[in-house]
Every structure is written in structure tokens, then in C-alpha cells.
Amino acid sequence: MLLLTVVPGPLLAAEQTLLRDMIGQMLLVGFRGTTVDGASPILRDIREHNLGGVILFDRDVQLQSPERNIQSPEQVRVLTASLQANARVPLFVAVDQEGGRVRRFREDRGFAPGPSAKAMGQGSSDQTRLEGERTGKLLADLGVNLNFAPVADVDINPQSPAIGALERSFSADPDLVALHAHAFCRGLLAQGVLPCLKHFPGHGSASADSHRGLTDISNTWSAAELRPYEMLIPLKASPLIMTGHLFLRQLDDAYPSTLSKAVLTGLLRQRLGFQGVIVSDDMQMRAIADHYGQAEAILLAVEAGVDVLVFGNNLDYDPEIVPKAIDILVKAVEDGRLSVERIAASYQRIQAAKQQFYTSFAWAPQVRP
């Protein structure tokens, strides 16, 4: 068994290789292209940096182009198979396929429609579970194994630009949110697709969109927005929970939730008892990118408790984000700011989640936590 150095200082070559491979699993990134080849940066990241996952988009926000990763069902199947064929550890292949207006696989490209969360919340939970199964079947057929859905936000503010106005919440009743979110999760899992609840600790009351800037919910948030998580975590409804880039002074008067140890470790892990994978919302969203340097944001997120750092590479595009992020985290270990044990804990949670849809791994280093 290879044990990593736990004291600050330069790592041996073998130790650094193992550390970099573990950190690679903590990254999930977007990329450009409907096909990949030997010159694709994303294939380099998968092969050389042991990248943990990718996320697919239907349009390129930065280029204002309708072309990104998705053209047709057959094209997506070929793309996801090509990506997985280059991975040493099976990839998370993720997408936002909530239903309604937030769907990357849409009818104009040959995919079946799906209702919004609000529409589902007005029906029965059995019907919501069936919609989850339909969504899961669609994604599994395309080679997608992780859906950044369902939204567990409570519809406190129907005009909330990121949630209520887009009909992304099941209900204004937190108990109904939990009921339908659980049903949708069960449907996805029945098809071998992992769900991911979002956006902790609750985006439904926000009057701003964290894609566009700092979102302060201190004056609008209430404990009712935690209720779905309080109900769903003991049920082990979802192996992953996504953070929101939400500033909530009552919980942390210095950092937004994604960067807050009080929120992610104190509240989500210790008080609510979540033992699964904590995923950041896109680290390139303006709520983070405009207020923190990239290196500091990455370090604060991991210190707070984030296991998987998401870089959509869509609001901004940086084909070098994977090696950059790995270098930042390796240096933090060598400098003593982060411990090897902290990296190993995230790595092990990620592998536990992946084992829910893969029975074995071709590559799995032995690391003592």
C-alpha cells in the first residue's frame, strides 16, 4: 500500500502522482465539441490527469452559439462512449435535465419533451417518479450517468429569476418539495442514473441569479428551505448534493455557501448528517468568479467541504482549467494548507458514489484516509 506524506513539504514523485490522480477525480468540467479526437484538451485531461467527470451543454454561452456538445441522440452516444473509452476510472457524465425550460436534450434535436418541476409538483408523486424514470431511461441510453436534478429549492419567491420564474421548484410547500424530489430521485436511480439535489441551503427565495453576481439571501431565506434536506438526507434519497453560491449572513457573514465551512461542514455534514458527495455549483459563475481569485476560491471550496469542483467552461472557457486546478491543490498540500487526508476523503466519497453505477474499476489506488 502506498502511503502519502502527511507533513508539509515536497512530495516524492510517486506520492505526487497519486495525489494528482486523486485530485483529478475531484474535478468535473465542460468542454467544446460534439466529437473528440487526439487533439481535444478534454481527452488529454481524461488520460493524463485522471479527470473525474464532464458536463454536457446544448449551447455555448460565451460564444453565444447554439452549438456545444449536443446535436442528436446518436451523436451524444458516440461522444459519451468516446470519453469513457479514454478514462482509467469511469467518468461522471453529467447534464442538467430537470424538465421544462432547464433541459439540455430538447425536442429540436430529436429528444423527448419533459414537464417542469412546477408542473410535476401539481400532480401525484407517483407520476413524478415515472417522469424520473423516463428521464433516467433517456439519459442512460445516451451514456449520461449523473443528472444535476432534482431541484430541492422551495418556491418562496415565484419571481425568483433563477428558480421560480423558470418553474424549477416543485412547490412552495417544503414537504411537497421533498415528496416530489424523492420520487424523481427514485425514478432516476431505477434507471442507473445518479440524481443530485440542488441548491443547498436553498435558492428559492433569492431575488437575484448567482450566474450573474453575488446573491444575498440573508433577508429572504427561512429555515423552511432546509426542510426538504432534513427529510431527504435520512432517506439517502440522493448520493450527491450541489451547493448554491448563496450568501446567508445568519450562517456565515464572510463567505457564500460554496466557500463556507460553517454551511457545508457544520450544517450539511455535521448537523444534517449528509455523508455523500458535495458538488459545487459552477465555479465560473459570477457570484464566485467576480469576487474571489480562482486559486483562493478553489482552496476555500475544498476547505469548506466541497468534494467535486464544477467548471462548466461555458460562461468562461479555459481548456487548461484541469491542470491549473490540480496544481493549485497540490501546492496547497505541499504548503500544509490542505492535508492529504482531506483529499483522500473526497476521493473515497466520489468512488463510493461511482460504485453505484459501476461494479468495478480498472484503476483504484489504495489510500489510507
CB 154 within 8 A of CB 202: yes
In the annotation, is 211 catalytic? yes
CB 220 within 8 A of CB 249: no
In the annotation, is 245 catalytic? no
Confidence at 299, pLDDT banded by 50, 70, 90: very high
Going by DSSP bridges, is the β-strand pair 102-103/97-99 parallel, antiparallel, or unpaired?
A: antiparallel
pLDDT at 59: 96
Q: pLDDT tens, 146-200?
A: 999 999 999 999 999 999 999 999 999 999 999 999 999 999 999 999 999 999 9
pLDDT at 365: 38
For residue 210, pLDDT beyond 70: no
Cα angle 303-306-310, degrees, rounded to a multiple of 5 = 125
- 58, 209, 281, 307: which is the annotated catalytic residue? 281
> How far apart, in Å, are the Cα atoms of 150 and each of 55, 125, 238, 253?
16, 13, 10, 28
Instruction: Please count the helices (runs of H) and the strands (runs of E) in the chain.
Output: 12, 12
For residue 361, pLDDT beyond 50: no
Q: Name the pTM for this structure.
A: 0.93
pLDDT at 358: 66
Phi, psi of 238 (to 5 degrees): -140, 135
For residue 3, pLDDT beyond 70: no
Total residue count of the chain as it appears in this document: 369
pLDDT at 11: 77
pLDDT at 209: 64
- 49, 180, 203, 211: which is the annotated catalytic residue? 211
Q: pLDDT tens, 244-286?
A: 999 999 999 999 999 999 999 999 999 999 999 999 999 998 7
CB 261 within 8 A of CB 342: no
CB 125 within 8 A of CB 171: no
